[in-house]
Amino acid sequence: MNAEHPGGSSRSVAERAVVSAARAPLRASIVIPTWNGAHHLPTCLEALVKQDLRDVEIIVVDNGSSDDTADVLAAFDGVTCLVLPRNVGFARAVNAGIRASTGRVVVLLNNDTEVAQGWLSALLAPLEADASLGMCTSKLRLFDRREHLHTTGDLVTLDGLAANRGFGERDVGQYDDRLDVFGANAAAGAYRRSMLDAIGLFEPAFESYFEDVDLAWRARLAGWGCRFVPEAVVFHHVSATGGGSYASYRVARNRLWTLARNYPTALARRHGASILRTQFRIAIDALRHVRGAAARATLRGQLVGALTAGRWWTARKRIAATRVLDEAALVSLMREAEGRDPVVTQSAEAS
């Protein structure tokens, strides 16, 4: 293992970047954020080192862990550890890993996953064959219910929600076609570096949750495609280091921030009433369960998201300036969600 500590005697990130710039880019960089996930990492890394890792680097971003993460990583050769001094949230952690990486493709992988044999080669193949693709997303199944799906890609809806395609369904091959989806789930998604250079990395203010949906919006508006790869199978515990009121607050806030940053004005004029009705239904459901911490966190997230939406005005203009996707093409990517149960949709978003 190669440990990098800010200010320590090991090679710094800046020094590593200089060395990296002097050599040819790698085929791919796998970036694994972790926070107190020592109990998950052996399963994750043992499955990963069985992949075809030629011209591939593995970077584990230790997000200020206080457990035995360092000791676990010491047992794995060829893994670079980027140690952050404190927990800075998912988005900032993966951004640090991306900046320290050199691959032409950046593959994000949650620490609470186990990849199936052949996962990496399958996931990279469409990006290497089709220059119009900026993202590829894995078939994620539930870790403890391995025949059931977590997601086959991110969906977004005209009323402002996001959902995991196929969430909770038994996998009987109903999603085994390679096709375009709106976005990649960052639990096991691949991102072309040239796309990230063009549209930017994950928005750090989001901290955790919806950061991948926001990035997918920016990528799609800028004309990049996203392909679901059914052969790239990953088993995922889902919200192993999050969930609860922590997730509920950020899902509710970040959902509104994502709309404020990305949802096109002309489309909002036609679907604004639908967006408001959906937010109202989510609030009413939370009020029905207001004694619960998660419900109260949802209401706080909605309030903060609405009151602070204006902070994204400059970012919104910048994102709009990169847009090349016309409205008809955008609408074709989105899924109408009138009448969906907002609690079910939220639980999918919070994964």
Closest CA to 188 of 86, 295, 267, 110: 110
Q: For residue range 110-126, what is the model confidence (pLDDT) as tens digits?
A: 999 999 999 999 999 99
Confidence of residue 109 (pLDDT cuts 50, 70, 90): very high
Pairwise CA distance, residues 300 & 93, whole Å: 25
The helix/strand/coil state of 93 is helix
Pairwise CA distance, residues 247 & 14, whole Å: 33
Quickly count: other Cβ atoms within 10 Å of residue 83's Cβ. 20
Mean pLDDT of 313-342: 82
Phi, psi (rounded to 5 degrees) for 216? -65, -40
Q: What is the pLDDT of residue 243?
A: 64
- Give the whole-number percent of the chain exceeding pLDDT 70: 87
Helix (H) or strand (E) holding 281: helix 265-288
Question: β-pairing, 2-4 with 154-156?
Answer: unpaired
Confidence of residue 25 (pLDDT cuts 50, 70, 90): confident
Closest CA to 229 of 131, 122, 116: 122
Mean pLDDT of 291-313: 97
Q: What is the pLDDT of residue 335?
A: 67
Mean pLDDT of 296-303: 97
Which structure tokens are listed for 6? 């800010």
Q: For residue range 26-85, what is the model confidence (pLDDT) as tens digits?
A: 999 999 999 999 999 999 999 999 999 999 999 999 999 999 999 999 999 999 999 999
Quickly count: other Cβ atoms within 10 Å of residue 320's Cβ. 13
Question: Residue 348: is its pLDDT beyond 80?
Answer: no
Confidence of residue 246 (pLDDT cuts 50, 70, 90): confident
Confidence of residue 132 (pLDDT cuts 50, 70, 90): very high
Q: What is the pLDDT of residue 338?
A: 37
Helix (H) or strand (E) holding 135: strand 133-142
Question: Residue 20: is its pLDDT beyond 80?
Answer: no
Mean pLDDT of 5-10: 34
Pairwise CA distance, residues 154 & 350, whole Å: 12
Cα 154 to chain centroid distance, Å, stands at: 9
Question: Residue 278: is its pLDDT beyond 80?
Answer: yes
List, in order, residues 6 or more apart from 237 with CB less than 8 Å away. 40, 112, 113, 143, 144
Q: What is the pLDDT of residue 11?
A: 40
Confidence of residue 253 (pLDDT cuts 50, 70, 90): very high
Q: For the chain, which domains are there?
A: 2-236 (3.90.550.10), 244-349 (no CATH)
Which structure tokens are listed for 327? 């409205």
Q: What is the pLDDT of residue 245?
A: 87
204: Cα within 13 Å, side-chain hemisphere: 8
Mean pLDDT of 297-305: 98
Mean pLDDT of 165-184: 95
Q: Report how far apart, in Å, the C-alpha atoms of 114 and of each of 58, 240, 242 are.
A: 15, 13, 18
List, in order, residues 6 or more apart from 323 with CB less than 8 Å away. 221, 222, 264
Q: What is the pLDDT of residue 240?
A: 54
Mean pLDDT of 147-172: 95
Q: What is the pLDDT of residue 18?
A: 43
Pairwise CA distance, residues 202 & 212, whole Å: 7
Q: What is the pLDDT of residue 217?
A: 98
What is the residue-averaged pLDDT of the chain? Answer: 89
Q: What is the pLDDT of residue 244?
A: 80
Closest CA to 152 of 162, 163, 138, 142: 138
Mean pLDDT of 9-23: 42
Residues 81, 159 contacting (CB under 8 angstroms) = no
- Give the whole-number percent of the chain exceeding pLDDT 90: 85
Handedness of CA 141, 349, 105, 334 (dihedral sign): positive
> Is 0.85 topped by the overall pTM?
yes
DSSP conformation letters of 307-345: HTGGGGHHHHHHHHHT----HHHHHHHSB--TT--HHHH
